[in-house]
Amino acid sequence: MKLGPQGHLEGARFVESPNFDARPEGVEISLLVVHSISLPPGQFGGPAIEQLFTNCLEPAEHPYFREICALRVSAHFLVRRDGALLQFVPVAARAWHAGASRWRGRERCNDFSVGVELEGTEGAPFAPAQYETLAALASALRRALPLRDFAAHSDVARGRKTDPGSGFDWSMFLARLAR
């Protein structure tokens, strides 16, 4: 994997989200935030995550979608259960993934982070293919950016978010990253 000059990752399927804006001038991208998502909750493999991130979620498709269809959110990347990688926002831009957040005394994590969603739920294990893709992605980003830290969404939005949850094995991810 290699990050191109426009902030697109070679090998990722690009699905453009409108939910991004410019990062503040001179900000160094130093953090990767790991999230988890499944739509409808607990279901995998459908088009709903892409639809949410592209503002095309149909509220009539599922009762939960009525609650979230007006959200304007995104992430830079999504790693599907089978390890497939999608990109929604160029890395140079600010994706709207962390919300109100703080990391090591710095507010507004979206300003200085890359957001990666893993298709999954907070209590269930993630698939081995997801760890492989996430590690390859993180390695590619580290080669191109001054990425120093990895954090859970729950770490940067304490008390507000709980993902990726206990199903995410940090030691497995870090071991794969070290290869």
Catalytic positions, written as ranges? 117
**Cβ-based neighbours of 171, under 8 Å, separated by 6 or more:** none
